[in-house]
A and B are shown apart, each in its own frame.
Chain A
Amino acid sequence: MAAKGVIRKGEYFDSVTLMLVARDASKIDGVIDATIVMGTAQNKSILEMSEMLLDEFRDASDNDLIIAVKAKDEAAAVLGLKKTEELLEKSRQRTTDSSEYMPKSIESAINVLPGANMVIISVAGKYAAEEAMKALQHDLHVMIFSDNVPKDKTLEVKKLGREKGLLVMGPDCGTAIINGAPLGFANVVNRGDIGIVSAAGTGLQEVSSIISNEGSGISQGIGTGGIDMKIDFGGLSFLTGVEALIADPQTEVITLISKPPHPEVLERIGEVLKTNRKPVVAAFLGADPALVRSIGAIPASSLEEAALLSVSLSKGISMEQFNKEIEESENELKELAKGLAKQLRPEQKYVRGLFQGGTLAYETQVILKDMIGDINSNAPLDPRLRLADSWRSVGHTVVDLGEDEFTVGRPHPQIDFSLRNKRILEEARDKSVAIIYLDVVIGHGTNPNPGEELAPVISEARTAGNALIIVTVTGTDRDPQNKHKIVKMYRDAGAIVLERNASASRLAGYILQDPRGN
């Protein structure tokens, strides 16, 4: 084995470009691993762990680009490095080919695009707040996709946004839909009269997709980031979002999504809602329904229920009819569970959920704990149920692959499927596993080929063991990946595919409540 590398002083590429080139480079003949990163201390320690930190890299600074290749022998490493540099050059040409002038700052970008009204920021967390402040000072709305933004800086940004009546979405906000346009990781959905404010990115994707798939549409989808619902942030961005939807003539129904907010934040949302005459549906996952009613909202127990209730209100369908339809689909789910349970062997007892979406992992735990008891997790509902080792499942387990231990030095699991694919096969070989549960979140910004990435692994897992594989796909047929096509590929590979996470979770629950299907 041999490693080769080079430092490029003062060169900068964004992290997704680097990840895509590194992935292509890893496929070069003879190459075992390829990494292209900025020379930060954290990146250098990751290189060290993968035995790719060459001596000459130790002095690299944050502003230097490191290209490192590990290969089977010296000759392959030299050739691999040369090819990797060529790939990087090609990708640079792709982004700069378009002869467009690229301004160096937000200030000069405003001159290039008169009437600009939104800034999306996805640079490294420590620089994001400064860029956000610049945007707000120029009266521009902001979406901060970046995570790891210092908390004190985040509070400054949110306070200024609130003072100026400007939207501050994020930090750590993956998704928004503004005037019909998908920002960040977002789905292509119908426009309509349902307005959403969501603390959670995948929560917003799931609810907006279900609404669109049911034939209704979204007026605006405002993501705030989870930090907004904490006591010291007081719902600053969430409140601005709710007020805007109350005032918006195109919004007839308001849908709110979050984990249970801090009681004081909930009270503040209630204050804002006092001026509101539009119906409000709130999915504060796991919250006491009575508390939700106390602020004048209709409680929804899941993202699915929030979406379907909102659609019913938008279309003027009566609650009686709504409840009847829910009951019918629940009975179908129970029948399906009975049939599937008969395929299990006596030793197959556990569910293993491997998630791309943090909110979906949370929702599944909320649903399953009432049906089958304790669920162990790296992001548990109850700290007692925290996995000692996130890489090893115990009993019923739900793993959020978007948590730090899995993403340091790697792209988000909605982009990079490799880690989960490996884990799926490990779970499939475990004879005590009854169900492998997977979410796939599609849309702009996410992996362009989720069908090709996962379908062969589903087939392999079905051959390796007897576990049922339940997949839920969040997205729409108008997304670049096309939901319909993806669903068919997974079904053909042997998975049971449901289009909503809450239904899929209940299906898993029903199967495990009665594992012989009696």
Chain B
Amino acid sequence: MKTIDLFTSELKVINVGLTSFKESLEQEGVKVVQVDWRPPAGGDEEAMEALRRLMGK
């Protein structure tokens, strides 16, 4: 969706992180889905790097 189309569509938000942002948007009547985000591979940098290599990214 191009930016100009965003302006004429209903805003629908995916929130990754602070749940307070989800609450603010809901108060203003915006549809929001909260992602249950956790640091990837347990936040371990080496494991993450290994995972990326395995997935060919």
A interface list, Cβ under 8 A from B: 10, 12, 14-17, 38, 40, 61-63, 95, 100, 102-106, 109-110, 112-113, 115-124, 127, 130-131, 135, 139-141, 145-146, 165-167, 178-184, 188, 219-220, 240-241, 243-244, 247-248, 250, 444-445, 480
Q: Are B3 and A118 touching (Cβ within 8 A)?
A: no
- Enumerate 16 A-B pairs (CB-CB under 8 Å) in ascending A order: A38-B43, A62-B43, A102-B33, A109-B35, A110-B14, A117-B6, A118-B13, A120-B13, A121-B16, A127-B40, A145-B18, A165-B3, A178-B7, A179-B6, A182-B28, A244-B4
Query: Which B residues lie within 8 Å of A178 (CB)?
Result: 6-7, 11
- Identify the closest chain A residue to B40 (Cβ): A127
Query: Which B residues lie within 8 Å of A115 (CB)?
Result: 9-10, 12
Query: Which B residues lie within 8 Å of A165 (CB)?
Result: 2-3
Q: Does B1 contact A (CB under 8 A)?
A: yes
Given A120-B13, A122-B21, decide whether A480 and B44 contact each other with a Cβ distance below 8 A: no
Given A141-B1, A248-B7, decide whether A103 and B36 contact each other with a Cβ distance below 8 A: yes
Interface centre among B11, B14, B34, B42 (most CB of A within 10 A): B14
Q: Does B53 contact A (CB under 8 A)?
A: no
Q: Are B14 and A140 touching (Cβ within 8 A)?
A: yes
Interface centre among B13, B19, B34 (most CB of A within 10 A): B13
B interface list, Cβ under 8 A from A: 1-4, 6-7, 9-21, 24-25, 27-28, 30-40, 42-44
Query: Which B residues lie within 8 Å of A146 (CB)?
Result: 17
Q: Are A116 and B33 touching (Cβ within 8 A)?
A: yes
Question: Across chains A and B, which 10 residue pairs bring their CB atoms closest together, nearest first?
Answer: A122-B17, A62-B43, A444-B24, A102-B36, A244-B3, A63-B43, A63-B42, A113-B33, A109-B14, A122-B18
Query: Which B residues lie within 8 Å of A10 (CB)?
Result: 42
Query: Which A residues lie within 8 Å of B28 (CB)?
Result: 180-182, 188, 444
| Min distance, Cβ B1 to any Cβ of chain A, angstroms | 5
Per the bound structure, the CA–CA distance linking A181 and B30 in Å amounts to 7
